[in-house]
């Protein structure tokens, strides 16, 4: 008798749980799907929706780079190569090359954190695929650029001020020991 | 169809040719028409629909780029598979390996002989219709075993063996469920079974008695098992055995197996409709059913919708349920389904002794119970939609 | 299913089949290989073959600075990257006697518990898929996508976070993000309930998993299992409770333990069910942490060239796959002398051979999935 009860209970449980499962999948059939049909059927490009902290491909603003080589030293995988020349007559130092191998880059953010002006930072770009590995080395020095000297008391030139502001805004995202770091942080 | 050809001969179209030659040519033409106009696009569109339905049940969008809403995806897949390299493993059996997909295909295609498309649209109305259908769909076992063995691959062999055991075992509940209906209808001919039912739901054999109601679900489950569909798809789509007996196949041969599987879904649905859901019996709409052409179209549409509903249900079941293990599959068949189908057969026989012409009140009561069950299901679906909110939209562009 | 038959004898002559599951197989546990010897369907032994994903992460530790090694720890188990980060940072802080700010500790807890949710979602999703139910996997991944979006807002990356740094965390969590996490949690608890009704209570699923490969308490101790695998055998052991670290003593949560309600204690269903309940517990922890998070800096002052004094430290964190131990030796320079990572998946591989005797091939797949082994963790 117990065996018959177990038999009937098995059948009953099977039917009811299958019933429940099928109602769930049917309910999903009429809901909106979660897929984002990138890249052609979306409202605005994905890059515009990513937060400022997003660690995409590295970019360098050479105009505010001071040439301190901190990023090259801190990179755990040595993907940044910087060369600085000294012009003997004018005693001016300028960059000869600033290469980042985005193939090796770990996207860890250590170089961006340590930069004093925020010139090297992660952009929102993530579409870096190309057909040959040589294209994966980004060269940021196209013409000789002299090193940037940050002026005391703020920057007077408006274009340079804007660049310095963008760099500083990026650096504010990181947490600092001084106080509440990050935009708008301070409350739980 | 035979009367149609006889009419043409009488009208003098094929003067001079012996009757057998005309028949043979007519048969080949009929097979060609059914295959290319109906079966091939149907199997292709079923594959597209399955991918779309599956995807929507999984909160994603299926193929929707090739053609409007992706409806030409199956043509793209077919062309791609035709262009692929046809790999035959060196150690595979040279004769059996290429032959296996064709046997599976033939086994499933022969079923279309007795499936009616409308009131008088049937290739051959054999008076052993259903028996012929059950017999001919068993040819696929031979094909699957050939595929599994001739691949010279241990995984394929395991898959083929399991599939053979599965299909052969599930013939029995399927056959017994069919037998229940044959009792009630009194004939094995498919047209005869349909004509013994009416167009109204309470005249269908589904609601004839509680035993036929249970027999329907037994038949559907057994047919899913015969078609190697989840929850019984152990032989083919395992996460463990790569792809079971189709592992070594590539290109069009690979696609033949799946072509047969998707087409088989329609055969399952069609047989379920013929036996239990009243076939092509359409309600008598005043100005449509008077004219033969419109009536034929209406019956075709009614049959197609009823059969395709069950195709959708099998896709739905595939998206929902996990797979049963081989020994549990056998236990399910022999311990649960076979005794239940015997009970159904004996019960129906008893019902027919008590009420030889059927009990209309019982049918209507069963129909009302069925509607109530559907209503409860619909309410449950509504609960699911309200309970866990639809997907969360935190990003601005979703 | 014997291979050949001797026609005249009474007993059939049978041969065993030796089949190789992997390293390429459609199961998302990573590149693993098992050499399985079966007699038809029943397995005689299953010998694991590991090392396909070995990347010498421990050796790399000797070449990188202390700060620079933290991104590498992400890759030790990329599905549970926060915990590896935390383990290494805690070991470095122990060696260097660095204090972590209180807000930093709470940020760590929030990030870790979010990562635990993501990792367990993958675990239960792929478990369903190995058994044959394909839909719950996609539903679990859909929820994990939202968690990835939240992590993107917190630290800028979706998988390899490099968030937990020595002395605190790298980025602060804004109140806006905290609001989004709360919205997500309200939605997620209902989703777990729906997931249970779709998969966990399904009779076919239960029949596949109960009484399969039950592990007793003694076996679990012998084979040194940790994490949900150990808790499913009835042992109430959780590093967050028993060797507390961070701010876990202040948070109120339960340790789900298997109780064999559907079958034997310690079978595959128990291991699965413990993970589902841990999802709910992590939601509880997250809500409390979000309420209790104090104001203040998120990282304390740590030297750029971090040089802890010579010594050794062994730190354990409760990762989703068990107790992840970091044994770090410092010799006073700015590079670690030795970093050794002890992971739960590596020890779980050992028990597979013992448990697989006498079960079927389909059960072996369920067993591997239930132990939640993860190739990057095994091979590092």
Contact B133, B271 (CB under 8 A): yes
Contact B315, B50 (CB under 8 A): yes
* Short-list B315, B163, B147, B157, CA closest to B233: B163
Q: How do residues B225-258 score in pLDDT, each as one tens digit?
A: 888 887 888 776 664 556 677 778 888 888 888 8
Model confidence at C39, in pLDDT bands (50, 70, 90)?
Answer: confident
Residue B286 has pLDDT above 70, yes or no: yes
Q: How do residues B185-203 score in pLDDT, each as one tens digit?
A: 888 888 888 888 888 888 8
Model confidence at C72, in pLDDT bands (50, 70, 90)?
Answer: very high
Residue C86 has pLDDT above 90, yes or no: yes
Q: Do C41 and B242 touch (CB under 8 A)?
A: no
pLDDT for residue C2: 41
* Short-list C333, C332, C329, CA closest to C309: C332
For B394, which residue in chain A has the nearest alpha carbon?
Answer: A49
For chain B, domain boundaries: 1-82, 84-387
C47 touches chain B (CB under 8 A): no
Q: Do B320 and C133 touch (CB under 8 A)?
A: yes
Question: How far is Cα B373 from Cα B377, in angstroms, rounded to an integer?
Answer: 6
C296 chain-A contacts, CB cut-off 8 A: 179-180
Q: Are residues A157 and A101 in the same domain?
A: yes
Residue A87 has pLDDT above 70, yes or no: yes
B382 chain-A contacts, CB cut-off 8 A: 27
Rounded CA Rg of chain B: 23
A113 touches chain C (CB under 8 A): yes
What residues have CB less than 8 Å from B33, skipping those under 6 apart? none
Domain total in chain A:
2
C155 touches chain B (CB under 8 A): no
Q: Do C173 and A106 touch (CB under 8 A)?
A: no
Note which residues in 208-227 of chain C have CB less than 8 A from chain B.
208
Question: How far is Cα B316 from Cα A30, in angstroms, rounded to an integer?
Answer: 13
* Short-list B92, B339, B365, CA closest to A3: B339
How confident is the prediction for chain C on average, in pLDDT? 87
Q: Nearest C-alpha of chain C: how many angstroms from A51?
A: 6
Q: Are residues A14 and A91 in the same domain?
A: no
The residue among C15 and B377 whose pLDDT is bigger is B377
The two structure tokens encoding residue B154: 């241990």
Domain with A21 in it: 1-34
Contact B163, B228 (CB under 8 A): yes
Q: What percent of chain C has pLDDT over 90?
A: 32
* Average pLDDT of span B4-31: 77
Contact B86, B251 (CB under 8 A): yes
Q: Do C297 and A177 touch (CB under 8 A)?
A: yes
For C17, which residue in chain B has the nearest alpha carbon?
Answer: B154
Q: How do residues A142-180 score in pLDDT, each as one tens digit?
A: 887 888 777 776 777 788 888 888 888 888 888 888 765
Q: How do residues C158-189 score in pLDDT, each as one tens digit?
A: 888 889 999 889 898 888 889 889 988 988 98
- Count contacts between B and C (CB, < 8 Å): 101
DSSP codes of every residue in A148-172 = P-PPTT---SHHHHHHHHHHHHHHT
Residue B219 has pLDDT above 90, yes or no: yes
Q: Are residues A94 and A140 in the same domain?
A: yes
pLDDT for residue B234: 77
Domain annotation covers residue A157: yes
Q: Do A20 and B380 touch (CB under 8 A)?
A: yes
Q: How do residues C258-303 score in pLDDT, each as one tens digit?
A: 887 788 888 899 999 999 999 999 999 999 999 988 888 888 888 8
Q: Do A185 and C65 touch (CB under 8 A)?
A: no
Residue B398 has pLDDT above 70, yes or no: no
Q: Do A22 and B320 touch (CB under 8 A)?
A: yes
A21 chain-C contacts, CB cut-off 8 A: 197-199, 202
Q: Are residues A4 and A96 in the same domain?
A: no
pLDDT for residue C43: 86
Note which residues in 55-74 of chain C have CB less than 8 A from chain B.
none
For A29, the closest of B56, B61, B395 (CB atoms) is B56
A116 touches chain C (CB under 8 A): no
Q: Do C204 and B324 touch (CB under 8 A)?
A: yes
pLDDT for residue C92: 92
Helix (H, G, I), strand (E, B) or coil at C20: strand
CATH homologous superfamily, domain C17-379: Cytochrome-c3 Hydrogenase, chain B (1.10.645.10)
Residue A185 has pLDDT above 50, yes or no: no
Question: How far is Cα A116 from Cα A139, in angstroms, rounded to an integer?
Answer: 21
Contact C230, C219 (CB under 8 A): no
Q: What percent of chain A has pLDDT over 90?
A: 11
Q: How do residues C94-134 score in pLDDT, each as one tens digit?
A: 998 988 999 999 999 999 999 999 999 999 999 988 888 88
Q: Chains contacting C with at least 3 CB pairs below 8 Å?
A: A, B
pLDDT for residue C114: 93
Q: Are residues A83 and A156 in the same domain?
A: yes
Torsion of CA B10, B12, B15, B20, to 10 degrees: -30
For A35, which residue in chain B has the nearest alpha carbon?
Answer: B60
B61 chain-A contacts, CB cut-off 8 A: 33, 35, 37
Model confidence at A182, in pLDDT bands (50, 70, 90)?
Answer: very low
Domain annotation covers residue A39: no
Model confidence at B342, in pLDDT bands (50, 70, 90)?
Answer: very high
Q: Which residue has the tokens 């360098």?
A: A60
Mutate to test the interface with B, among A27, A30, A124 (most CBs of B within 10 A): A27
Q: Chains contacting B with at least 3 CB pairs below 8 Å?
A: A, C
Q: Are residues A59 and A142 in the same domain?
A: yes
Model confidence at C5, in pLDDT bands (50, 70, 90)?
Answer: very low
Model confidence at C89, in pLDDT bands (50, 70, 90)?
Answer: very high
Mutate to test the interface with B, among A26, A43, A44, A50 (most CBs of B within 10 A): A26
Long-range contacts of A142-145 (CB under 8 A, 24+ apart): A144/A85, A144/A94, A144/A95, A144/A96, A145/A62, A145/A63, A145/A65, A145/A94, A145/A95
Which H or E run contains C96? Answer: helix C81-96
pLDDT for residue B280: 85
Helix (H, G, I), strand (E, B) or coil at C362: helix
Q: Do C156 and A13 touch (CB under 8 A)?
A: no
pLDDT for residue B241: 55
User: Using CA of residue A23, residue A29, residue A33, residue A38, what is the dihedral sign?
Assistant: positive
The two structure tokens encoding residue B223: 């047919």
Q: Are residues A99 and A73 in the same domain?
A: yes
For C1, which residue in chain B has the nearest alpha carbon?
Answer: B161
Domain annotation covers residue A129: yes
* Short-list C141, C36, C119, C140, CA closest to C362: C36
How confident is the prediction for chain B on average, in pLDDT? 84
DSSP codes of every residue in C98-118 = ----HHHHHHHHHHHHHHHHH
Helix (H, G, I), strand (E, B) or coil at C328: strand
* Average pLDDT of span B324-337: 88
Q: How do residues B177-186 score in pLDDT, each as one tens digit?
A: 999 999 888 8
pLDDT for residue B395: 57
Model confidence at A183, in pLDDT bands (50, 70, 90)?
Answer: very low
DSSP codes of every residue in C209-267 = HTTSS---HHHHHHTT--THHHHTTT----HHHHS--TTGGGS---------SSSSTTS
* Average pLDDT of span B365-387: 89
Q: How do residues C302-351 score in pLDDT, each as one tens digit?
A: 888 888 999 999 999 999 998 899 999 999 888 999 999 999 888 888 88
DSSP codes of every residue in A46-102 = GGGGS-TT---SEEE-GGG-----HHHHH-TT--EEEEEEE-TTT--EEEEEEEEET
Q: Are residues A77 and A157 in the same domain?
A: yes
Q: Are residues A24 and A69 in the same domain?
A: no
Residue A6 has pLDDT above 80, yes or no: yes
User: Using CA of residue B254, residue B255, residue B257, residue B262, what is the dihedral sign?
Assistant: positive
* Average pLDDT of span B360-364: 86
Q: Do A181 and C157 touch (CB under 8 A)?
A: no
Q: Nearest C-alpha of chain B: how many angstroms from C21?
A: 8
* Short-list B92, B67, B201, B66, CA closest to B156: B92
Contact C14, C3 (CB under 8 A): yes
Helix (H, G, I), strand (E, B) or coil at B218: helix
What residues have CB less than 8 Å from B89, skipping those under 6 apart? B97, B151, B152, B153, B248
The residue among B372 and B121 whose pLDDT is bigger is B372
Mutate to test the interface with C, among A58, A75, A108, A174 (most CBs of C within 10 A): A108
For chain C, domain boundaries: 17-379
What does the angle CA B90 – CA B92 – CA B93 come to, to the nearest 5 degrees?
125
For C177, which residue in chain B has the nearest alpha carbon?
Answer: B394
């Amino acid at each position: 008798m117990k065996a018959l009860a177990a038999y009937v209970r098995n059948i009953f449980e099977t039917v009811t749980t299958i019933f429940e499962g099928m109602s769930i999948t049917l309910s999903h059939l009429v809901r909106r799907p979660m897929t984002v049909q990138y890249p052609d059927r979306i409202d605005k490009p994905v890059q515009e929706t990513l937060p400022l902290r997003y660690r995409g491909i590295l970019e360098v603003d050479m105009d505010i780079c001071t040439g301190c080589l901190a990023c090259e030293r801190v990179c755990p995988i040595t993907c940044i190569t910087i060369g600085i020349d000294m012009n003997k007559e004018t005693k001016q130092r300028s960059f000869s090359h600033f290469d980042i191998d985005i193939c090796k880059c770990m996207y860890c953010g250590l170089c961006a954190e340590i930069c004093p002006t925020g010139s090297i930072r992660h952009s929102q770009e993530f579409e870096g695929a190309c057909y040959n590995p040589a294209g994966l080395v980004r060269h940021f020095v196209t013409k000789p650029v002299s090193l940037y000297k940050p002026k005391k008391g703020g920057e007077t030139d408006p274009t340079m001020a804007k660049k310095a502001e963008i760099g500083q805004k990026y650096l504010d995202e990181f947490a600092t020991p001084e106080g509440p770091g990050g935009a708008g942080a301070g409350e739980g | 169809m035979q009367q149609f050809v006889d009419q043409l001969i009488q009208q003098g179209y094929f003067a001079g040719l012996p009757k057998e030659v005309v028949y043979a040519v007519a048969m080949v033409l009929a097979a060609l028409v059914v295959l290319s106009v109906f079966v091939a696009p149907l199997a292709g569109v079923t594959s597209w629909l399955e991918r779309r339905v599956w995807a929507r049940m999984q909160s994603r969008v299926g193929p929707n780029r090739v053609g409007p809403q992706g409806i030409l995806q199956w043509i793209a897949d077919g062309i791609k598979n035709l262009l692929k390299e046809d790999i035959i493993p060196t150690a595979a059996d040279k004769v059996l390996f290429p032959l296996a997909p064709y046997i599976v295909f033939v086994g499933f295609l022969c079923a279309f002989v007795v499936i009616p498309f409308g009131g008088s649209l049937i290739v051959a109305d054999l008076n052993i219709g259903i028996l012929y259908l059950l017999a001919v769909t068993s040819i696929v076992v031979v094909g699957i075993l050939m595929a599994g063995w001739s691949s010279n691959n241990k995984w394929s062999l395991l898959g083929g063996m399991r599939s053979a055991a599965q299909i052969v075992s599930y013939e029995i509940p399927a056959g017994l469920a069919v037998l229940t209906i044959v009792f009630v209808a009194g004939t094995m001919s498919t047209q005869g079974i349909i004509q013994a039912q009416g167009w109204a739901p309470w005249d269908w054999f589904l609601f004839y008695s509680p035993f036929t109601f249970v027999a329907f679900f037994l038949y559907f489950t057994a047919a899913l098992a015969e078609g190697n569909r989840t929850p019984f798809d152990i032989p083919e789509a395992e996460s463990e055995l790569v792809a079971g007996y189709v592992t070594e196949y590539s290109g069009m041969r690979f696609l033949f197996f799946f072509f047969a599987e998707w087409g088989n879904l329609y055969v399952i649905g069609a047989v379920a409709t013929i036996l239990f859901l009243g076939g092509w019996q359409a309600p008598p709409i005043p100005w449509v059913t008077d004219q033969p052409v419109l009536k034929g179209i209406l019956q075709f549409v009614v049959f197609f919708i009823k059969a395709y509903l069950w195709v959708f249900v099998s896709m739905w079941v595939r998206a929902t349920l996990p797979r049963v293990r081989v020994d549990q599959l056998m236990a399910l068949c022999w311990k649960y389904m076979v005794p239940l189908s015997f009970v159904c057969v004996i019960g129906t026989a008893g019902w027919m002794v008590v009420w030889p012409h059927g009990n209309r009140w019982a049918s209507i009561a069963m129909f009302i119970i069925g509607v109530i069950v559907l209503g409860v299901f619909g309410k449950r679906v509504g609960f699911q939609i309200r309970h866990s909110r639809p997907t969360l939209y935190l990003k601005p562009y979703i | 299913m014997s291979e050949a038959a001797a026609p005249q004898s009474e007993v059939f002559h049978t041969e065993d089949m030796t089949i190789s599951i992997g390293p390429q197989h459609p199961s998302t546990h990573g590149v693993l290989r098992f050499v399985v010897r079966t007699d038809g369907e029943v397995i005689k032994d299953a010998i694991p073959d590991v090392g396909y994903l070995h990347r010498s992460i421990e050796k790399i530790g000797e070449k990188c600075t202390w700060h620079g090694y933290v991104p590498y720890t992400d890759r030790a188990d990329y599905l549970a990257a926060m915990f590896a980060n935390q383990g290494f940072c805690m070991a470095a802080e122990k060696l260097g006697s660095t204090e972590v700010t209180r807000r930093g500790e709470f940020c760590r807890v929030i990030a870790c518990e979010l990562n635990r949710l993501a990792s367990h979602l993958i675990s239960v999703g792929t478990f369903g898929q190995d058994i044959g139910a394909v839909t719950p996997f996609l539903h679990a991944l859909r929820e994990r996508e939202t968690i990835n979006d939240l992590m993107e807002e917190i630290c800028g990356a979706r998988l390899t976070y490099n968030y937990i740094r020595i002395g605190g965390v790298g980025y602060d969590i804004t109140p806006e993000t905290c609001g989004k996490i709360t919205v997500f949690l309200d939605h997620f608890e209902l989703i777990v309930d729906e997931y249970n009704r779709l998969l966990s209570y399904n009779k076919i699923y239960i029949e596949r998993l109960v009484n399969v490969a039950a592990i007793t308490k003694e076996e679990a101790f012998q084979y040194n299992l940790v994490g949900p695998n150990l808790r499913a055998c009835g042992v109430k052991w959780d590093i967050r409770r028993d060797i507390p670290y961070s701010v876990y003593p202040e948070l109120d949560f339960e340790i789900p333990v298997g109780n064999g309600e559907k079958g034997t204690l310690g079978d595959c269903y128990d291991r699965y069910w413990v993970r589902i309940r841990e999802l709910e517990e992590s939601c509880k922890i997250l809500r409390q942490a979000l309420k209790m998070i104090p104001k203040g800096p998120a990282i304390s002052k740590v030297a750029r060239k971090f040089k802890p004094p010579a010594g050794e430290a062994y730190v354990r964190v409760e990762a989703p796959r068990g107790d992840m131990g970091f044994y770090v030796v410092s010799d006073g320079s700015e590079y670690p002398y030795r970093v050794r990572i002890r992971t739960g998946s590596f020890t779980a591989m050992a028990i597979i051979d013992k448990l697989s005797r006498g079960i079927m091939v389909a059960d072996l797949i369920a067993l591997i999935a239930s132990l939640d082994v993860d190739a990057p963790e095994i091979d590092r």
